[in-house]
Structure 1
Amino acid sequence: MVELLRTLLAQAGEHITLVLACMLLFAALDAALGIGAVLPGETGIVLAAITLSDRGELLAAGVLVAALGAFLGDHVGFAVGRGLGARLGDTRLIKRLGRDRWEMARYYVAGRFWVVIIARLLPGIRTLVAAAAGASAVPYSRFATACGLAALLWAGLWVVGGALIGNALFDIVERYTLPAFVVVAAALAVWILARHKRGVRA
């Protein structure tokens, strides 16, 4: 399985424009209101970064493209929040994503400038931060500046981090997957036998 994925990534590396377009899409979808909580885009970003890992200039382009995607996706959330205002908190979407997450996002966007940047990086609430900013009295210029800086930080972490450790993770998975499956299968067999013996005694 790992070898197949490596082969697919090597083939994708021959189509750099498509890889960068996918990074833009993954980042935009991840940042758009609520989508990132259901379909995290980091996995796609990391896989794309692995294909670019041998060329520094392409990694830099990947960071910029992923940041642009995140910036655009955040604007979807901001526009929805600005359009619905406080009513957004009562929608089915927010109830499904978690009212507590929504309240936390609102709390963060009401804080200092750097707090908004940090909130945009936090798992679980980051896709709600832009919508919370739109639904509150946060000025657009403040939101756009914080969002742009946070998008660059987020993209840098996942693109550069993915390029640095992605191949190493593949090596670890490839080396230890079979032994791990054997251990899990043995433990499962012992558990089933133990339950069966208890059932017979009863």
Structure 2
Amino acid sequence: MQLEELLARYGLWALGLGAGFEGETVTVLGGLMVHRGLFPFLPAVLAASLGSFLADQTFFTIGRHFRNAAYVRKMSARPAFLRALAVFERHPVGFVFAFRFLYGLRTISPLAIGTTKLRASRFMAINAAAALLWGTCFVSLGYLFGQGIEAMFGRVRSVETLLAPLAAIAIGGYVVRNLMVQHRSRLKP
């Protein structure tokens, strides 16, 4: 089975999972696949939005029901957790809507919000709207980025030619980001 056939068959599932676990990079790659004609636009947006929504709902639920667990207590000691709570206290609805767009607060925020008194139904409604906007924005960026690549370099002949360098960049960025986080944690007393 060729890569294009695999992407056509399982790509939207992979996009949803990737959007939930990794976020923007995978979603932009999904937009590139829309540009290549491998995914339809609306299903790609819905897959990315659903993946993001479910991941954030999961972290919210963990914060809500396991706030005294070792993992949540460990996370609550992090500066990003405290920043998320501080911003949430000032602008609860706006923060729930915007956290997924804020670098450094994306993954810890739903966990932090889960420890507050915000109703789960309210979080779910705002989270759904925000996830849909987020999915639309980042799939669209990937789609438009695909047009930019073709304008600069001409039509890319195969998906492999497009995915290999983008995957290397995404993996490299992930590794560098993790190394920077580890380095910062070693510097703290």
The TM-score, its normalising length taken from structure 2, stands at 0.68
Tell me how large the CA RMSD over aligned residues is: 2.8
- The whole-number CA distance in structure 1 between the counterparts of 2:140 and 2:5 is 16
**Pick from 43, 47, 52: which aligns with 1:65?**
47
1:12–1:19 CA contact under 8 A, matched in 2: no
- The whole-number CA distance in structure 2 between the counterparts of 1:113 and 1:79 is 18
Is 1:144 aligned to 2:129, yes or no? no
Is 1:23 aligned to 2:15, yes or no? yes
1:26–1:45 CA contact under 8 A, matched in 2: yes
Structure 1: tracts of 5 or more residues without a match = 1-9, 31-40, 175-202
**Pick from 101, 114, 133: which aligns with 2:80?**
101
Deviation for aligned residue 1:15: 3.4
Alignment of 1:162-201 (within 5 A): 162-169=142-149
2:4–2:38 CA contact under 8 A, matched in 1: no
Task: Compare the two structures and name the one with the higher helix fraction.
Answer: 1
**Pick from 91, 99, 122: which aligns with 2:102?**
122
Structure 2: tracts of 5 or more residues without a match = 155-189
Which AA in structure 1 matches 2:137? Answer: L
**Pick from 56, 75, 86: which aligns with 1:74?**
56
Deviation for aligned residue 1:43: 1.9
- The whole-number CA distance in structure 1 between the counterparts of 2:10 and 2:132 is 21
Is 1:49 aligned to 2:36, yes or no? no
- The whole-number CA distance in structure 1 between the counterparts of 2:111 and 2:149 is 34
CA deviation map 1:144-170 (0-9, x unaligned): 011111111111111011111135247
2:98–2:130 CA contact under 8 A, matched in 1: yes
Match in the other structure for 1:196:
none
2:8–2:38 CA contact under 8 A, matched in 1: no
Deviation for aligned residue 1:75: 1.5
Match in the other structure for 1:200:
none
- The whole-number CA distance in structure 1 between the counterparts of 2:141 and 2:17 is 19
**Pick from 61, 73, 76: which aligns with 1:90?**
73
How many residue pairs end up in the alignment?
151
Instruction: State the structure with bigger RCO (CA 8 A, min sep 6), 1 or 2.
Output: 2
Point out the structure with max Rg over C-alpha: 1
- The whole-number CA distance in structure 2 between the counterparts of 1:13 and 1:155 is 24
The TM-score, its normalising length taken from structure 1, stands at 0.64
- SS of structure 2 residue aligned to 1:126: coil
Instruction: Specify whether residues 102 and 145 from structure 1 end up closer, same or farther in structure 2 by C-alpha distance, changes over 3 A only.
Output: same
